[in-house]
Chain A
Amino acid sequence: MRDPWISEEGALRERMSDPAQATATDPEARLPAYATAFLAHLRLLVGIPFEYLVPDTAMLPDESIRFFHLDRSWADRVVDGVLAVGKVGSREQAHHQAAAPALDALLDSLEPAVRPVQRGLAALVPAGETTDPDISGFLLRSALVAGWPHMDVRAYRESVKLPLLRLERLSAAVLIALFAGVPDRVELEEPHHGVQFGVTGAGPGSAAAFAVDPRTPDGVRREGAEPFPVAVRPTDPSLRVVELADLRRIISYRADLDDPALPTQTGSAAFTIQLLRPPWMQVFSDEGRDALPGHLRTSLARPVAALADGIDVDALLAAADREAKQP
């Protein structure tokens, strides 16, 4: 029995190891845009069924937050699986084998660009600098997710903010976040568009039932200033209807006469600042957990004219009237 001149195995190995198969860096061999975006999203587990992420519900109980590292090999295998579609023989395998290193590098560089694409801000282009190879994040299952949509999530490592790779609601009550790098401090902050209005109970000796703290136009509590008393309508105090117009009058007097640092009471924005309750921030860090009043910085904007700029509706109406009156 003679040895065959080349074995099947040997032929395959030869094909796979031949560098001349295809150079993946050449433009002709580049993966088309849709497929590239598909794979880049999968790298961040976008579209992976939830059961694959959390195989046992005990791993993510109600009202819990769980921090994790992302197993990069797992996401790599998902990408391999996608590229197995239509892979019928050794030719496709050889091609994948040759193209894999360049493709992996491309997907690595595309990961930070996925979130801007999800937000509809930018096209999928490779990020300039390579990010931290480690990806970490958290899963949050809580009434916070449903009740406070769009809460702020920030992660820091040695006080440097880490890029947010993904922040998405997986269901009504589950939120996933992915960061480039491993943070030592994560902050969840009450969303600012949902910053609450409220009052506090007035101290003893006050005639009014409630009070609000004076705040300067940037939203900072004015230290040392006496709180404004908040009255409720006297006809039936048990209804707890706040006398907003009276409160505005009180604030207005003090801002105009005593304390110019308070916002001048012109419209509802300046009034609203006084009623704000600062957003709450929950901090998870290596030292433990902490709850702080969040950063609230407000600013009073000039009245918005831009929307109606260039359209003088009154003049148009007057002109129309004149036109109509002409015989």
Chain B
Amino acid sequence: MTDRPVAPGEMRLYDDVRPALPDDTYLLRASTTLSRPDLTVNPVDAYFAVEGPRFALPATEVVAVHPPRNAQGSFDEVLPHVVLGRRTLPWERQLDSTGVIRDPVTEPPDPEPRPLPGSAPWLGLLLFVDDPTRTEVTVLPQPVPLSSVVTDPQIRIRLRLGNTDPQVQAIEVDAGLLRQIAPSRQEVQLCCHVRQVNVDDRELAAGDSDGWFAVVMANRLPTPGLRHRACLVSLEERSDVIFPTGPEPGEVLPAAKQRLVLLHTWTFTAAPARPGGGSFRELAGALDSGLFGADTLNVTDTGHHALTLQDRSGAAQAVWYRGPLVARPVARDPLGPYHSADQARRVSPETGAEDISYAAAFEVGRLLGAADGRLAQELMAWRREAYQEAARRSVADQVWTDVPALTTPADEAVADGLVAPVSLTMFERAGAGAGTSADLTLAQVVRSAPGLNPERLATAWNTSVDVVQSLLGGAPEEPQP
């Protein structure tokens, strides 16, 4: 889109978003014209079909319904609607692709407003009363063949199904009632639009959250005090349901039953307004707000909750637990890191009982970590890297101590990978008698082992270094290459 992005709190409305290719079967023909007329290339034909939902709608396509499913509240001045996550869905098929449903006839002094652009969508939302006292609609319990839903042969031809007869979910309605409540062709079009909203402040949506939604609205207001059923139905080619206008006064209404393909349905109850009712305003206004854990039975002022656990000897022990959510700010513990859960156990001075909050946190972290194989592998790799790094550094420190002539700082040398070449050079020099730092006889290693260090042993045995030297076999002071 070339428009600026939608700001938070803004809603942008579109008449429709039509797909580039409406659902249909297409022929793709590739042909080439050559400059030499004596040569020809046969064109290649390929058929492909663009198919969207037609006789069934996956529940994941429906993002939200309003009024909410099974909700109860003052919905009697609200037009129900359904929000679809796929913005092109209502326009992927057409209500009337061949123009069977005519424009309404208007009297000359009453000019029509501008004609609606484009063709009418194929989705309609119908609202029925579905109360124990009065039922206007029957949802057929089993899928039925499409031929029993669409009985008019002309419509079946326009649907272009060939010999197939898919099983569909359907509703059955009194034809006279349907004539009275079904929207006119224009109204079907007025009931569908697309909105684009900003999704920055939203919770994480399970699927599509690009901010585009198609909305299908009903044309009927709920009756107060009754339960209602809203039905998203397919109106594709249903010229026996959708007419140019609503019924005229005195029109004879048909008496039969009519069926429609059902795509989605939900119920709600429009009750008279009551506190704690069903609209967003009522629910949000009635929310019990407070601080977490404050004024709650079984929870202390500090937010601790008494639990009983079995201690190591198996005896029951009363302990305190507090989760990560607290009513008052808590200072962050600077004594980290902790290496075991026991390190994080505390005793509450007032009660003498143990506080296992942080120990429990430690354990839940350990369990979550142990349950994740990849995490364990990465932790091991992390440590291994660090040990190797430490080993490289210690070699470097030794070399740099022994060779005062090196001017590069040891840290940089480790980072640059200088250590190995420098060490090699030192071995070569030592071999040529140029220096004494290379430990070719391993005497330094031997002497650095604590049990073989004359000074340490002398201190430990409380004797002189000479005695220890002789006891150790009189190791030479300096190794001679």
> Which of B1, B363, B364, B456 has most chain A Cβ within 10 Å?
B364
Contact A267 B368 (CB under 8 A): no
**Chain A residues near B324 (CB-CB < 8 A):** 45, 48, 52-53, 70-71, 74-75
Interface size class of B (residues with CB under 8 A): 35 or more
**Chain A residues near B385 (CB-CB < 8 A):** 28-29
Indicate which residue in B221, B281, B336 contacts A240 across the interface (CB closer than 8 Å).
B221
Q: Which residue of chain B is the closest to A283 with respect to CB atoms?
A: B284
B138 at the interface (CB under 8 A from A): no
Contact A265 B113 (CB under 8 A): yes
What's the minimum C-beta distance from A252 to chain B, rounded to whole angstroms?
Answer: 3
Please tell me which stretch of B7-15, B152-160, B163-171, B234-242 contacts chain A, meaning at least 4 of its Cβ atoms lie within 8 angstroms of it: B7-15
B296 at the interface (CB under 8 A from A): yes
**Chain A residues near B247 (CB-CB < 8 A):** 233, 235
Q: Which residue of chain A is the closest to B104 with respect to CB atoms?
A: A245
A308-B183 contact in complex given A56-B299, A77-B362, A198-B78, C-beta closer than 8 Å: no
Q: Which residues of chain A in 234-286 are interfacial with respect to chain B, using CB atoms and an 8 Å cutoff?
A: 234-236, 238-245, 248-249, 252-253, 256, 264-273, 275, 277, 279-280, 282, 284
A71-B79 contact in complex given A56-B296, A152-B202, A252-B113, C-beta closer than 8 Å: no
B184 at the interface (CB under 8 A from A): yes
Contact B209 A59 (CB under 8 A): no
B150 at the interface (CB under 8 A from A): no
What's the minimum C-beta distance from A259 to chain B, rounded to whole angstroms?
Answer: 15
Please tell me which stretch of B308-316, B327-335, B429-437 contacts chain A, meaning at least 4 of its Cβ atoms lie within 8 angstroms of it: B327-335
Contact A299 B10 (CB under 8 A): yes
Q: Which residue of chain A is the closest to B328 with respect to CB atoms?
A: A69
- Give a binary string over A200-220; 1 marks a CB under 8 Å from any B CB, 0 the rest: 110000000010000000010
B223 at the interface (CB under 8 A from A): yes
Q: Report Cα–Cα, A279/B291, bound state, in Å.
A: 26
Q: Report Cα–Cα, A279/B78, bound state, in Å.
A: 13
**Chain B residues near A306 (CB-CB < 8 A):** 1-2
**Chain A residues near B344 (CB-CB < 8 A):** 77, 80
Q: Report Cα–Cα, A244/B401, bound state, in Å.
A: 91
Interface size class of A (residues with CB under 8 A): 35 or more
What's the count of A-B pairs with C-beta under 8 Å?
482
Contact B291 A66 (CB under 8 A): yes
Contact B289 A34 (CB under 8 A): no
Contact A71 B289 (CB under 8 A): no
B361 at the interface (CB under 8 A from A): yes
**Chain B residues near A140 (CB-CB < 8 A):** 287
B29 at the interface (CB under 8 A from A): yes
What's the minimum C-beta distance from B324 to chain A, rounded to whole angstroms?
Answer: 4
Indicate which residue in B288, B340, B362 contacts A65 across the interface (CB closer than 8 Å).
B288
Indicate which residue in B88, B114, B281, B325 contacts A53 across the interface (CB closer than 8 Å).
B325
What's the minimum C-beta distance from B398 to chain A, rounded to whole angstroms?
Answer: 11
Indicate which residue in B287, B361, B389 contacts A142 across the interface (CB closer than 8 Å).
B287
**Chain B residues near A320 (CB-CB < 8 A):** 27, 29
Contact A307 B213 (CB under 8 A): no
Which are the 6 A-B pairs with shortest beta-carbon distances?
A: A81-B365, A267-B15, A147-B68, A252-B113, A282-B284, A82-B369
What are 18 A-B residue pairs whose CB atoms fall within 8 Å in the complex?
A: A29-B385, A53-B324, A71-B322, A71-B326, A73-B332, A78-B362, A81-B367, A86-B380, A96-B339, A148-B280, A149-B203, A150-B209, A266-B116, A267-B116, A280-B284, A291-B281, A298-B13, A303-B16
Further 16 A-B residue pairs, CB within 8 A, beyond A54-B325, A268-B15, A291-B285: A2-B462, A24-B386, A45-B324, A66-B289, A144-B280, A149-B205, A192-B198, A193-B63, A197-B217, A198-B79, A241-B246, A244-B183, A267-B116, A269-B194, A301-B13, A323-B29
